[in-house]
Amino acid sequence: MGKERTHINIIVIGHVYSSKSTTTGHLIYKCGGIDKRTIEKFEKEAAEMGKGFFNYAWVLGKLKAECERGITIDISLWKFETSKYYATIIDAPGHRDFIKNMITGTSQADCAVLIVAAGVGEFEAGISKTGQTREHALLAYTPGVKQLIVGINKMDSSEPPYSQKRHEEIVKEVSTYIKKIGYNPDTVAFVPISGWNGDNILEPSANMLWFKGWKVTRKDGGSASGTTLLEALDCILPPTCPIDKPLRLPLQDIYKIGGIAGLWTVFTLGGVGSKATVSPELSSPLANQSLLLLLVLANLTDAPDAPNPYRQAIMSFKNTQDSSPFPSSIPHAFQINFNSLYTALCEQQTSDQATLLLYTLLHQNSNVRTYMLARTDMENLVLPILEILYHVEERNSHHVYMALIILLILTEDDGFNRSIHEVDKYLHTNCLAALANMSAQFRSLHQYAAQRIISLFSLLSKKHNKVLEQATQSLRGSLSSNDVPLPDYAQDLNVIEEVIRMMLEIINSCLTNSLHHNPNLVYALLYKRDLFEQFRTHPSFQDIMQNIDLVITFFSSRLLQAGAELSVERVLEIIKQGVVALPKDRLKGRRVIGRSKESKKIINPTSRPEEYRV
């Protein structure tokens, strides 16, 4: 039955003396996670060590030191079943000296159970500014454990025992703190329990009849209620486990092997569940695992008397076309086809490990860095890196950070910076000509697309004004100094005016041929109509501005007639009505730039193809 249920990982955290292990052991025993004979065996062994009262905590105390000291040192794992879930419960150390182990366990959890002691002085010690209750709650939230249950333990030790007032006091204090660190108290079940006596663990307690149960709102929009700790566990939202993401293992410890290397130990939980479909990213498991192994080996720390040989090899390998000898000081060097390596890196930047390998090579191998920066097709590498940043919400912070560092390394090279800005002189013309060819058939332009068209025109307009101002100032300065050569502002103005004219051609073509299909473009024109004012009398744009000026004037007058305060919906409605009323013969048809004789050399570059390399 267990394997048919959803698997969850539950971490039990709290102050070292909050009786976490006793409560957890009692819960596991009552849920059938351990048989009665084993409990009796544990009781006997505990009694021999003078710990006869320590029966339920003994379930989890696997280390001899834990049993002797009565505290949890390492992480303990036990499995049991509820009516809804197959659960792995993680009993984390509460003592400050073993906080590293607590963090390791928390990183694997789907839900945290924070055990708070209700005893006089015990709660106050844990909730103080330096208390472990605060520390553990924060350390649970930080790695991403967003579901929390609070067990108010040792209710039998409160004054008086099972005090309602004490329970309410603790709920108020803990709610205030967990809200500060990010939890919503409305989603947290507060359950008064006694881990020793079993009150409200599996069944409602007769000692706390005043407790009417807990009720929480859930992140999925629903709500849940109950009385016991087990019912609260059953109300945990099932976890999502995306298998198409990179494998991550929390590092628990590193053991140094003198003079050789280090051994990394990680903490994993054996989950259960049905088979999932293989992700496209995992279609080459051998290559994926090999890359992960290579990265692990390359990032091992150096031994005291010898450098890491794997890192040395990564730092020094060369291209197969490089015939120069390796230095004798590099015994682990090898050669590889850089072209194949470059192609593979360009194609695989969707994964964290491929981006990390690219960073490692650019940062540590000067041969690879020099080769890549000399490539004439750097866009094949840069664009996938930029795509990582564009889809930042789908990437983890480490992946995004690596992408930024790679761009930083590339931009340290002056040649890269020059080449990335040397745009082909026909590129903008080709792009705008393609838009112009389609402009007569624009249908239902989205408001965002319409805004981008006008925003591009706005950018060009500002650039035009800036260059014009610089040209004027330069001309005035030249009157006092005839020896200083003047920048060629006239050429810059001609280029900008050419692009502005193409943008006006696109807008004009759309208005002339498909005005009734594009109210959002008219809306964007009206919203930014001041941009076009300066070009009405400009000799280079007077002819093409006639239709645009007519549309702006016509619809502006209709908006004035409608009133001062109009909603977006009302403005669009007026535009749609005005389109019908505007006489079509008043709009003068013009040629489409993409089909003109001048543009044929743009679209069909056959005479000198080398000029059209993009």
3-state helix, strand, coil in the chain (%, to 5): 55, 10, 35
Rounded distance, CA 546 to CA 173, Å? 71
| Parts of the chain with a pLDDT under 70 | 1-4, 35-36, 38-39, 42-43, 45-77, 91-106, 241-242, 247-283, 421-428, 477-487, 588-614
Residue 237, Cβ density class (10 Å: 0-12 exposed, 13-18 middle, ≥19 buried): middle
Of all helices (H) and strands (E), which one includes residue 238? none
| pLDDT in the model for residue 155 | 93
Residue 26, Cβ density class (10 Å: 0-12 exposed, 13-18 middle, ≥19 buried): buried
Rounded distance, CA 531 to CA 525, Å? 9
Rounded distance, CA 224 to CA 29, Å? 25
Contact assessment for residue 115 and residue 14, using Cβ atoms and an 8 Å cutoff: yes
SS (H, E, C) 18-62: CCHHHHHHHHHHHCCCCCHHHHHHHHHHHHHCCCCCCHHHHCCCC
Supply the angle between the helices 542-562 and 568-581 in degrees, to the nearest 10.
Answer: 120
Residue-range domains of the chain with CATH = 2-234 (3.40.50.300), 286-421 (no CATH), 427-478+486-603 (no CATH)
SS3 of 588, please? coil
Contact assessment for residue 319 and residue 336, using Cβ atoms and an 8 Å cutoff: yes
pLDDT, tens digit, for every residue of 107-161? 778 889 999 999 888 888 888 888 888 888 888 888 788 899 999 999 998 889 9
* Long-range contacts formed by 445-450: CB under 8 A, 24+ apart: 445/510, 445/517, 445/518, 445/520, 445/521, 446/520, 447/520, 447/523, 447/524, 449/520, 450/518, 450/520, 450/521, 450/523, 450/524
| pLDDT in the model for residue 148 | 93
| pLDDT in the model for residue 360 | 92
Longest dimension (CA), the chain: 106
Helices (H), 517-606: 519-527, 542-562, 568-581, 597-603
| pLDDT in the model for residue 546 | 86
